[in-house]
């Protein structure tokens, strides 16, 4: 059929195709311009930053819209955080109080996340609102959430504290009335770190951005309201990715802090590496430490160190106890002499040292500079008896030498040049790099070293730990560590303490934190002593007069001890004798010491520390169950371990992964039918971190209407469907204003990824092809064709 006839009969196809094409090209251009222009928008803070606070709420009595129908918002400031710490010997008791005020004329639910030390035992919640004091109670997690949800729906004021990680907690406060102020106080205790004759108190104030790898799950209406979607590798990503404060708003979330020290000995120098402090000394054994001047922004960990006034006067042993009901709990601290002095005459082992250094985007800035300086110092400590490798990682990893090389001068010089040339960019695929470092160490093979000695395999991991899939890495280390030892170096102003400490324990090594450039030399010198001297291994406690089997000691097994480290054991004592023996092996030599545990000092909080340590160990056992059991048996073991964790947490009264604190006011506040908004807390960027390092750091960077850190591999939707207007956002962004207007009208929202080529452009391109195909089909279709009957000769 002539083409002109087709055109005549289907004249509408061409103008339709042309109009659709022009429309789609316009949409694509607009989308591309928006994506390209989004680089200037403030990035959202990843994970841990939520700790800092600062609410954003819809403003106004008309549902949050102005006269033109645009959304108006106002910041609900976190009025401040007050922290008070009481230190008695080896135990610190914290009270962290957050002050909020709702300046709007609407009822609201506030959700905020804050960091705590990874071994903190959280046992109390006290909410004060409208002159009422509401105490929290420990419940199993699902039951606590049910009680909170029911109270929220009924208009009662309520609060809920949940653990997302051992060092990240989330608090929700429901039914905060117009103009009301609320004070939420969290109390917990922690065992202080005592190493190399010095005590250290570390309190995180901000958690850095987290890399979220994996495939995104479908939108989960019961999930969190963070910028990232939950993934197969980080199933709670939406709960640990709060928004970041806009740089133009300056630092926020002010903190005041006071520490009262009752050391039990005359206190010498007191220092804080990153904060200016003032110190008052009522007597030689006590001190009161405060932040100097006004409140400081919560953008870095607070670290306080002190030591005895007399050199060598640090305690060599200590025993603290607490009676809780019918049970007696004890904390033993013992400095084995071989850990500091007698063991130093043993020969230094020949070593294969693998340095694994993080060069991902979150390390950009001061963190990478500190990591490079630390690594150069470590290279200078190697001898000709040692061999080494360097593995760097970001979105992928590379091995400088692919095998251990002898630490001669030429190799060291090449390595230093390599280290100085490292740059930070990309994601944080840490597991692949650690897998490469562990390759070949889990088969038990020994390699001959000079003078007939075998080589000691050591891995030094230098990172800020800014990842969301910590459990995956810990399981990897547990399964493949073999006869190697893993040492972690936490870099930057706010490293992931949970990952640093747990990875070192799983790798039978130790951990070091470098807070600032001024600390590199001192902290690395301490680490070198641990790397270069034999460890005390096979550490055990026994009660020669009976009772060994009636005492529940944690951790189990007891960890190896390195130079300058004490043995710390928590125990539940039932019928044990007054004497115990501590034993171990150092360089093949047997060591033993008797300790009398009668007397000691009464110390409230020991029971909580015992429960926290037991729960930590049980969680580690849950991770490693699949390494030792068949899948069916491993599942059953995990179920039983979970039950034991819940029993322990409820008995002691602790927040855990499976238990939460909930507080519910008996009197209703919000009347039925009165709407309530939900708000989330934005956070500061950790000090010294370069915001540009969060951009494009993923193998599949994501942009969205809520500007979010690009450190994610999942096609995350920072504003999941059903979570409308619950996030912090860029109030000047027209796209966000439009989305929020849609949310206010009840229209469901679904954010689309905007990568280097925007998702809108991809969608438009696909639709363009569809329209073109339909046009071609319309032109070529000739309708039903009548069947011809065959002629007498069978011709067509």
Minimal CA–CA distance to 473: which of 213, 697, 205, 118?
213
Pick the closest to residue 225 from 779, 729, 614, 718 (CA basis).
718
Give one word for 628, left, alpha or beta, with left for phi > 0 and alpha for psi -120 to 50.
alpha
CB 691 within 8 A of CB 246: no
Q: If you ran DSSP here, which 8-state letter would residue 391 be given?
A: E
470-480 and 497-506 helices cross at what angle (nearest 10)?
Answer: 10
- Distances from the Cα of 447 to the Cαs of 349, 381, 443, 444, in angstroms? 13, 22, 12, 10
The pLDDT score that the predictor gives to residue 474 is: 96
Q: How does pLDDT run across 65-79, given as a tens digit for each residue?
A: 444 444 344 445 466
Q: What is the pLDDT of residue 264?
A: 87
Q: Examine the pLDDT at 12 and tell me if it is beyond 70.
A: no
pLDDT range class, residue 583, cuts 50, 70, 90? very high
470-480 and 606-628 helices, crossing angle to 10°: 70
Average pLDDT estimate for 607-632: 93
Whose tokens are 């807390």? That residue is 681
Kindly give the interhelix angle for 497-506 and 606-628, rounded to the nearest 10 degrees: 60
pLDDT of residue 335: 86
- Sign of the torsion formed by the C-alpha atoms of 494, 497, 498 and 504: positive
**Helix (H) or strand (E) run with residue 702 in it:** none
Question: Do residues 115 and 94 touch, judged by C-beta distance below 8 A?
Answer: no
Rounded alpha-carbon distances, angstroms, from residue 771 to 13, 312, 354: 10, 82, 57
In angstroms, the CA 640 to CA 625 distance is 11
Residue range 301-317: average pLDDT? 86
Look up residue 71 and give its DSSP letter: B
Report pLDDT digits (tens) over 125-148.
Answer: 999 987 889 999 999 999 999 999
- Least confident stretch, 212-216, 224-228, 328-332, 569-573: 224-228
Q: What is the pLDDT of residue 412?
A: 98
Number of other residues whose CB lies within 10 A of the CB of residue 692: 15
CA separation for the pair 545, 364 (Å, rounded): 57
Q: How confident is the model at residue 179 (pLDDT cuts 50, 70, 90)?
A: confident
**pLDDT-derived band at 56, boundaries 50, 70, 90:** very low
Average of per-residue pLDDT across 20-29: 56
Strand, coil or helix: 549? helix
Q: Is the model more confident about 397 or about 443? A: 397
Characterise 596 by phi-psi region: left (phi > 0), alpha (psi -120 to 50), beta (else): beta
List, for residues 337-355, the tens digit of each pLDDT value.
654 444 445 677 889 999 9
**CB–CB of 290/245 below 8 Å?**
no
Nearest-Å Rg of the Cα atoms of the chain is 30
Question: What is the layout of strands, in order, in the sheet containing 107-115?
Answer: 137-140, 659-668, 156-165, 168-176, 107-115, 676-680
Separation of alpha carbons 273 and 518, rounded Å = 8
The per-residue DSSP string of 598-665 comes to SS-EE-TTHHHHHHHHHHHHHHHHHHHHHHHS-HHHHHHHHHHHHHHHHHHHHHHT--BTTEEEEEEE
Confidence of residue 733 (pLDDT cuts 50, 70, 90): very low
pLDDT score for 67: 45
**Contact (Cβ atoms closer than 8 angstroms) between residue 43 and residue 709:** yes
Q: DSSP assignment, residue 70?
A: -
Helix axes 470-480, 430-438, angle to 10 degrees: 10
Task: Assess whether pLDDT exceeds 70 at residue 775.
Answer: no
Distances (CA, A) of 344 to 134, 311, 561: 56, 19, 14
Q: How far, in Å, are 175, 356, 563 from residue 110 at the CA level?
A: 8, 40, 47
pLDDT score for 626: 82
Q: Cα separation of 544 and 365, whole Å?
A: 55
Measured CA distances, 451 to 409, 454, 458, 510 (Å): 21, 9, 19, 28
**pLDDT > 50? residue 3:** no
Provide the angle, in degrees to the nearest 10, between the axes of the packed helices 759-780 and 13-37: 170
pLDDT tens-digit series, residues 653-684 = 999 999 999 999 988 889 988 998 887 767 77
Mean pLDDT of 545-550: 69
At 185, list the tokens. 């106080």
Residue 763 CA to residue 502 CA, distance in Å, equals 44
Token pair, residue 545, equals 């007069």
- Would the CA dihedral through 28, 30, 34, 37 be positive or negative? positive
pLDDT digits (tens, 9 = 90+) for 449-506: 554 457 899 999 999 999 999 999 999 999 999 999 999 999 999 999 999 999 999 9
Cβ–Cβ < 8 Å for 749, 724: yes
Q: What is the pLDDT of residues 416-465, one digit of tens each?
A: 999 999 999 999 999 999 999 998 654 444 555 554 457 899 999 999 99
Mode of pairing for the β-strands spanning 198-203 and 193-195: antiparallel
Q: What was the pLDDT predicted at 9?
A: 53
Which secondary structure element, helix H or strand E, spans residue 100, and what is its range?
A: strand 91-101
Strand partners, 192: none
Smallest CA-to-CA distance from 683 within 714, 708, 705 is with 708
Of 419, 362, 428, which Cα lies nearest the Cα of 391? 419
The tokens describing 515, both together, are: 């807070």
DSSP tag of 231: B
Backbone φ and ψ of 513, nearest 5°: -115, 135
Pinpoint the alpha helices (H) of 74-199. 141-154
Place of tokens 């609060």: 159
Q: Check if the beta carbon of residue 494 is closer than 8 Å to that of residue 207.
A: yes
Average pLDDT across the chain, whole number: 79
What's the distance, Cα to Cα, between the start and end of the chain in Å? Answer: 17
DSSP per-residue string spanning 166-179:
TTEEEEEEEEE-TT
What's the whole-number mean pLDDT along residues 281-290? 96
Q: 3-state SS string over 280-341?
A: EEEECCEEEEEECCCCEECCCCEEEEEEECCCCCCCCEEEEEEEECCEEEEEEEECCHHHHC
């Amino acid at each position: 059929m002539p083409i002109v006839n087709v055109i005549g009969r289907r004249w509408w196809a061409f103008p339709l195709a042309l109009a659709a094409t022009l429309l789609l090209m316009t949409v694509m251009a607009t989308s591309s311009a928006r994506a390209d222009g989004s680089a200037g928008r403030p990035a959202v803070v990843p994970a841990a930053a939520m700790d800092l606070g600062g609410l954003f709420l819809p403003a106004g009595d008309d549902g949050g819209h102005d006269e033109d129908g645009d959304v108006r918002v106002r910041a609900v400031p976190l009025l401040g955080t007050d922290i008070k710490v009481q230190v008695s010997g080896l135990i610190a008791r914290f009270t962290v109080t957050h002050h909020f005020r709702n300046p709007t004329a609407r009822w609201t639910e506030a959700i905020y996340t804050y960091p705590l030390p990874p071994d903190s035992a959280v046992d109390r919640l006290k909410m004060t609102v409208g002159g009422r004091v509401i105490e929290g109670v420990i419940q199993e997690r699902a039951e606590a959430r049910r009680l909170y949800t029911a109270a929220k729906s009924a208009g009662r004021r309520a609060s809920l504290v949940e653990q997302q990680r051992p060092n990240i907690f989330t608090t929700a406060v429901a039914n905060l009335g117009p103009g009301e102020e609320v004070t939420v106080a969290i109390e917990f205790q922690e065992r202080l770190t005592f190493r190399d004759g010095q005590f250290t108190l570390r309190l995180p104030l901000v958690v850095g951005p987290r890399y979220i790898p994996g495939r995104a799950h479908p939108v989960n209406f019961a999930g969190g309201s963070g910028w990232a979607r939950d993934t197969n590798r980080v199933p709670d990503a939406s709960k640990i990715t709060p928004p970041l404060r806009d740089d133009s708003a300056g630092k926020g979330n002010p903190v005041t802090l006071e520490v009262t020290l009752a050391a039990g000995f005359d206190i010498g120098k007191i220092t804080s590496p990153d904060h200016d402090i003032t110190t008052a000394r009522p007597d030689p054994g006590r001190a009161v430490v405060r932040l100097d001047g006004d409140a400081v922004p919560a953008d870095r960990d607070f670290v306080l160190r002190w030591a005895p006034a007399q050199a060598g006067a640090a305690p060599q042993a200590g025993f603290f106890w607490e009676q809780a009901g019918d049970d007696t709990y004890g904390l033993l601290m013992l400095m084995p002499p071989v850990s500091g002095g007698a063991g130093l005459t043993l020969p230094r082992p020949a070593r294969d040292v693998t340095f694994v250094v993080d060069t991902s985007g979150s390390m950009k800035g001061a963190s990478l500079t500190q990591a490079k300086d630390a690594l150069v110092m470590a290279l200078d400590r190697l001898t000709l008896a040692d061999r080494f490798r360097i593995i760097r990682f970001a979105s992928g990893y590379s091995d400088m030498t692919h095998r251990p090389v002898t630490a001669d001068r030429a190799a060291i010089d090449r390595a230093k040049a390599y280290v100085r040339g490292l740059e930070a960019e990309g994601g944080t695929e840490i597991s692949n790099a650690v897998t490469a470092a562990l390759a070949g160490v889990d088969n038990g093979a020994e390699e001959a070293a000079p003078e007939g000695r075998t080589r000691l395999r050591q891995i030094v991991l230098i990172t800020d730990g800014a990842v969301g899939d910590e459990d995956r890495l810990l399981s990897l280390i547990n399964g493949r560590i073999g006869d190697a030892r893993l040492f972690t170096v936490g870099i930057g102003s706010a490293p992931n303490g949970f990952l640093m400490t747990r990875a070192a324990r799983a790798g039978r090594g130790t951990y070091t934190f470098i807070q600032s450039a001024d600390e590199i030399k001192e902290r690395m010198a301490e680490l070198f002593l641990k790397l270069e001297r034999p460890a005390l291994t096979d550490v055990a406690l026994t009660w020669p007069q009976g009772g060994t089997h009636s005492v529940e000691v944690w951790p189990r097994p007891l960890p190896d001890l390195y130079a300058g480290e004490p043995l710390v054991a928590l125990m539940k004592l039932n019928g044990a004798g007054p004497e115990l023996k501590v034993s171990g092996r150092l360089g093949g030599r047997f060591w033993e010491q008797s300790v009398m545990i009668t007397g000691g000092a009464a110390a409230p909080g020991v029971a909580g520390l015992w429960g926290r340590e037991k729960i930590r160990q049980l969680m580690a056992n849950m991770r490693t169950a699949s390494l030792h059991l068949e899948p069916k048996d491993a599942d059953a073991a995990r179920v039983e371990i979970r039950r034991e964790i819940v029993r322990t947490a409820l008995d002691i009264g602790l927040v855990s992964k499976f238990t939460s604190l909930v507080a519910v006011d008996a009197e209703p506040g919000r009347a039925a039918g009165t709407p309530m908004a939900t708000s989330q807390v934005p956070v500061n960027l950790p000090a010294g971190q370069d915001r540009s390092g969060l951009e494009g750091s993923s193998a599949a960077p994501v942009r969205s209407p809520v500007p979010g850190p690009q450190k994610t591999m999942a096609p995350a939707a920072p504003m999941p469907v059903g979570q409308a207007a619950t996030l912090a956002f860029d109030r000047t962004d027209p796209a966000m204003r439009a989305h929020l207007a849609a949310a206010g009208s009840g229209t469901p929202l679904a954010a689309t990824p905007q990568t280097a080529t925007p998702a809108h452009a991809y969608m438009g391109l696909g639709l363009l092809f569809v329209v073109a195909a339909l046009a071609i089909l319309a032109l070529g279709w000739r309708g039903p064709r009548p069947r011809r009957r065959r002629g007498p000769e069978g011709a067509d």
